[in-house]
Amino acid sequence: MLAFGARGMALGERIAAYFLQNGTGAGVTRCPEGGLSDWTEAHFSGGDALIFVGSCGIAVRAIAPYVRSKTSDPAVIVIDETGTYVISLLSGHLGGANRLAAELAGYLGAIPVITTATDAAGVLAIDVWAQERGLSVANPERIKWIAARLLAGETIRAKSVFPMTGRPPKEMEFHDDVYDVLITYRTRGRAEALRLIAPAVTLGIGCKKGTDAGTLTRAYALMLKKAGCHPLAVREACSIDLKANEPGILEFCQSHGLPYRTFSAEELRRVPGKFSGSAFVESVTGVDNVCERSAVLGSGPDGRLLLGKDAGAGVTMALAIASYTLRLD
């Protein structure tokens, strides 16, 4: 949070205390003379939300050079120094600014100012609906098309490649053939549809010692292409504990935003199923296959191979898919 006067600082400190009470890290800074641009640049890419305790004009001028995309920009909130209005300024849906503005307005006894058309009209916001279910938007440019149809009172048609439980919102109907929204893990599908990607896939990795991140990245791109799997569907990478500190894997996972988990040889040996075993790999690691077994084990109970071992340049990779159910309500 950035404040500009004593009254704003007092309000900012009150809000920071609220966040900290609820387990969220927060801090408030009083803007030094000429420090607006530097503060905004330092926090825009690294924070989940920026709150300006001051005027909208100041906030707009501060963030203008750094605004890029609704999929990556943080939530930006403006609160006047009297605490009368809490304004959602940027990234209302995917960034969570609308939700945060409503929450803070409730805490402060203020008026939330939310101008997003779907929220103002009280109709389904498809990107928020997706986010609440852990789905990622593969083609955010199609959100406007869906929102315009919802605002016009239309019912949108959706298709899911996963089994579902619960009831969809009243503005949505599920079909198997014609659809406007596709919920999937794949890259293929109707080009015009909004594609929502479920985090259902686990990557298993094996590699020679000293394999660099670039080699792993090239193998990964080829693996995804062969499987027709969207990268947003991959929720984590797994391997054997012998590779827990392998620098190339750690760098690869960090650059792709993938959590990394490892298992012992004994845990991998106990994974049921048929795998492409190697006597050499077993002599080195204690288990006949690392990538397939770790992918399946990482995918959880009832996980299954999506694409078996793909080998090259000292790297083996496999993909497994979890037993995933889309919860509609």
Confidence band for 85, pLDDT divided at 50, 70 and 90: very high
Boundary-marking domain end, from 197, 228, 243:
197
Specify whether 100 is located in the same domain as 65.
yes
Alpha carbon of 263 to those of 201, 203, 239, 306: distances in Å?
A: 17, 13, 6, 20
CATH number assigned to the domain comprising residue 62 = 3.40.50.11220
Boundary-marking domain end, from 48, 81, 115:
115
Structural domain containing residue 142: 126-197
Distance CA 148, CA 56 (A): 27
Q: What is the pLDDT of residue 238?
A: 97
What is the end-to-end Cα distance of the chain in Å, rounded? Answer: 34
3-class DSSP state of 307: strand
Residue 120 domain-assigned?
A: no
At 212, which amino acid appears? D
Specify whether 151 is located in the same domain as 216.
no
User: Looking at 150-268, which runs of residues are DSSP E strands?
Assistant: 156-160, 164-165, 172-174, 181-184, 194-197, 201-207, 234-240, 260-263
How big is the chain by its Cα radius of gyration, in Å?
24
Distance CA 31, CA 66 (A): 18
pLDDT digits (tens, 9 = 90+) for 126-156: 988 998 899 999 998 899 899 899 989 999 9
Which uninterrupted H or E stretch holds 137?
strand 136-137
Specify whether 191 is located in the same domain as 215.
no
Please tell me the total count of domains within the chain. Answer: 3
List beta partners, residue 206: 316
DSSP structure string for 53-70: ES-HHHHHHHHGGG---T
Residue 172 domain-assigned?
A: yes
Residue 231 has what DSSP assignment?
Answer: G
Specify whether 162 is located in the same domain as 248.
no
Specify whether 134 is located in the same domain as 238.
no
Distance CA 97, CA 91 (A): 6
Specify whether 84 is located in the same domain as 163.
no
Specify whether 205 is located in the same domain as 317.
yes
Specify whether 146 is located in the same domain as 108.
no
Boundary-marking domain end, from 59, 87, 115:
115
Q: What is the pLDDT of residue 295?
A: 97
pLDDT digits (tens, 9 = 90+) for 278-305: 888 888 888 999 999 999 999 998 999 9
Distance CA 180, CA 170 (A): 15
Residue 329 domain-assigned?
A: no
